Amino acid sequence: MSPTQTETRQHTVTDSPYGPLTLVAADGTLCGLYMAGQRHRPPEESFGVPDETPFTEVIRQLDAYFAGDLKEFDLPMRLDGTAFQRSVWDQLRQIPYGETWSYGELAVRLGKAGASRAVGLANGKNPIGIIVPCHRVIGASGGLTGYGGGLDRKQRLLAFERGEDTPGTTLF
């Protein structure tokens, strides 16, 4: 699906240890989580009216995640993209907390062994970062590669999930 003229869009900004997060909803369903300075961040005017109402549970679960008390999100979401992108984003949600998979491994799991570059492009356009954990994808050599929120943020999120980083002051 893509945004329509008749849908109601709302947004709010919530603080996190990794910088402010802009949450966007379409007709009351989460459809975006964007970090400050994120690549592929839609224009602000597409976020709709400021309204915290549809985000109470999203913020509660994000707070629990950042406190180390939640390892898997359980939220209704609307992921707008192509069928291939949505299949990649569905696979991202299968990566266990604290673990990483390579782009190639994701491609194999999708039944498209030679599509690691396409998987990487779809990963980069993930509209609901952190909750749909695109930060858990690494290069074939095990190194950190591209992340729409920046490699420093990716490194810190992975370290946090491995218990090596306790979010304190916001660095972003």
For the chain, domain boundaries: 9-66, 83-161
Q: Domain 83-161's class?
A: mainly alpha
CA dihedral of residues 149, 164, 74, 142 (deg, nearest 10): 60
pLDDT value for 105: 93
Q: Is 134 a catalytic residue?
A: yes
Catalytic residue among 134, 137, 157, 158: 134
Which own/partner pairs from 162-165 qualify as long-range (CB within 8 Å, at least 24 positions apart)? 162/98, 163/98
Q: 9-66 and 83-161 share one CATH topology?
A: no
What distance in Å separates the CA atoms of residue 132 and residue 92, rounded to the nearest whole number? 6
pLDDT digits (tens, 9 = 90+) for 71-85: 999 999 999 999 999
Structure confidence at residue 167 as a pLDDT band (50, 70, 90): low
DSSP 41: P
Residue 142's contacts (CB-CB under 8 Å, 6 or more residues apart) are 102
Top CATH class, 9-66: alpha beta
| pTM of the predicted structure, to 2 decimals | 0.88
Contact 88, 49 (CB under 8 A): no
Which of 12-26, 63-77, 82-96, 158-172 shows the lowest per-residue confidence on average (mean pLDDT)?
158-172
Task: Please compute Rg for the chain using Cα positions.
Answer: 16
